[in-house]
């Protein structure tokens, strides 16, 4: 067994803790009962520099020592960060531990984060061919130095065992290093949504404008709390109104398809979303406490309705317990606390009015909705 240790300059989000460890394994096959592990790579930040450790089974006979060395780096508060390690890497190591008689309790007690699980939804958003790590790496512009396939790597390892040529070893270490550094770059995608929480509320300011087609937009330019090592642009269509019976081929005159965009470059988040100038309805939740006035087309509370002639009022229903407001509205993609407006009762799409009720805290929540709308995950561990 040999350990290869290096200090590298690959970027990771600055708020990653020292107990976070990126890791990746290389094996001679997919089935742990008929193959063996020959390389484990680790990447972690020690508070000053980013360290890479590669533990290599140099003679084909020190797999047990390799695994034991790997386990020695794990502590009770360690969080392992991997790509599809839940399905492959960790079950593989545990099976080999059982086969080699190695205590593996530490693997069952530590936390882990599978980037594949959290980044898999991006396949649909960015129209990717698959959810492989290398496919996502291309999305963010990470360039690999090695070009070997999994099959070629196995052949390279057995050639190294036979011929001990350093060039074969270099290729094996390079591939594993690319896996680790690519994973570190992908970690920025994990933390983009969570970084919104770090932006002070007073930065959540916006401006509105109209394009050449007289479509109104709201635009945000928010400071990212670190420099992103790549650019990310994505846009997605949505309908202003989603009727309650949308699954029954319901057509609505106002069901206009619009596009919202998200562009992140260096230290700035750009969001552009269409706005709606319209008359919408706010529905009171406790409709039994209201009367509906047909001539005014609005609902009023019973305490006030007692002063209205009985022939000009009727008990409100869920569908008629509303007041109307004309203004500029921003669409929501999830429920939110506040005064929500709708085109009609039961519509799936709700809106917020761009008035004094659109507070900085609500704006922050709306921006987080946009990130979730684009399937950008929130890192599952606190900073």
The predicted-structure confidence for 191-234, as pLDDT tens digits, reads as follows 888 889 889 999 999 999 999 988 999 999 999 988 899 999 99
DSSP state of 199: S
- Do the beta carbons of residue 129 and residue 95 sit within 8 Å? no
DSSP line for 134-198: HHHHHHTTPPPS----HHHHHHHHHHHHHH--HHHHHHHHHHHHHHHHHHHHHHHHHHHHHHGGG
Span 75-114, pLDDT tens digits: 999 999 999 999 999 999 999 999 999 999 999 999 999 9
pLDDT digits (tens, 9 = 90+) for 302-344: 999 888 998 899 999 999 999 999 999 999 999 898 899 999 9
Locus of tokens 């545990």: 94
pTM recorded for the entire structure: 0.86
Round to whole Å and give the CA distance between 308 and 311: 8
Give CA–CA dist 308/284, Å, rounded. 19
Packing angle of the helix pair 150-163, 166-195 (nearest 10 deg): 140
Q: Report whether 290 contacts 299 (CB < 8 A).
A: yes
**Are 115 and 81 in contact, with CB atoms under 8 Å apart?**
yes
- For residue 331, CA distances in Å to 65, 77, 299, 342 come to 57, 41, 24, 10
Residues 6+ apart with CB under 8 A from 356: none
For position 245, what pLDDT does the model report? 57
Q: In 3-state terms, what secondary structure has residue 339?
A: coil
């Amino acid at each position: 067994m040999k350990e290869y240790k290096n200090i590298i300059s690959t970027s990771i989000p600055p708020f990653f803790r020292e107990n976070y460890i990126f890791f990746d394994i290389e094996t001679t096959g997919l089935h742990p009962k008929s193959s063996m592990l020959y390389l484990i790579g680790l990447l972690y930040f020690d508070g000053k520099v980013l360290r890479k450790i590669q533990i290599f089974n140099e003679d084909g006979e020190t797999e047990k020592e390799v695994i034991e060395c790997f386990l020695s780096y794990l502590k009770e508060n360690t969080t392992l960060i991997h790509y599809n390690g839940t399905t492959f890497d960790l079950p593989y190591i545990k099976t080999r531990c059982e086969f080699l008689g190695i205590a593996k309790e530490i693997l069952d007690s530590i936390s882990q984060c599978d980037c594949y699980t959290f980044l898999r939804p991006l396949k649909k958003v960015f129209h990717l061919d698959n959810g492989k790590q290398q496919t996502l790496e291309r999305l963010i512009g990470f360039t690999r130095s090695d070009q070997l396939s999994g099959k070629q790597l196995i052949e390279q390892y057995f050639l190294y065992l036979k011929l001990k040529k350093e060039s074969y070893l270099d290729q094996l270490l390079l591939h594993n290093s690319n896996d680790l550094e690519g994973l570190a770059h992908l970690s920025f995608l994990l933390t983009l949504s969570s970084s919104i929480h770090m932006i002070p509320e007073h930065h959540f300011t916006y401006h509105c404008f109209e394009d050449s087609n007289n479509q109104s937009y709201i635009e945000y330019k928010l400071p990212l709390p670190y420099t992103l090592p790549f650019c990310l642009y994505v846009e997605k269509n949505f309908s202003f109104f989603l009727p309650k019976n949308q699954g029954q081929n319901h057509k609505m005159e106002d069901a206009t398809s619009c596009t919202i965009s998200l562009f992140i470059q260096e230290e700035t988040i750009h969001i552009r979303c269409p706005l709606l100038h319209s008359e919408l309805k706010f529905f009171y939740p406790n409709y039994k406490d209201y009367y509906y006035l047909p001539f005014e087309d609005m609902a009023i509370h019973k305490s006030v309705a007692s002063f209205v002639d009985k022939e000009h009022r009727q008990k409100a229903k869920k569908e008629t317990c509303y007041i109307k407001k004309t203004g500029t509205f921003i669409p929501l993609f999830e429920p939110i606390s506040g005064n929500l407006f709708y085109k009609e009762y039961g519509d799936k799409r709700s809106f917020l009015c761009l008035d004094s009720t659109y507070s900085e805290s609500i704006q922050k929540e709306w921006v987080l909705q946009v990130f979730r709308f684009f399937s950008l995950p929130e890192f599952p561990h606190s900073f």
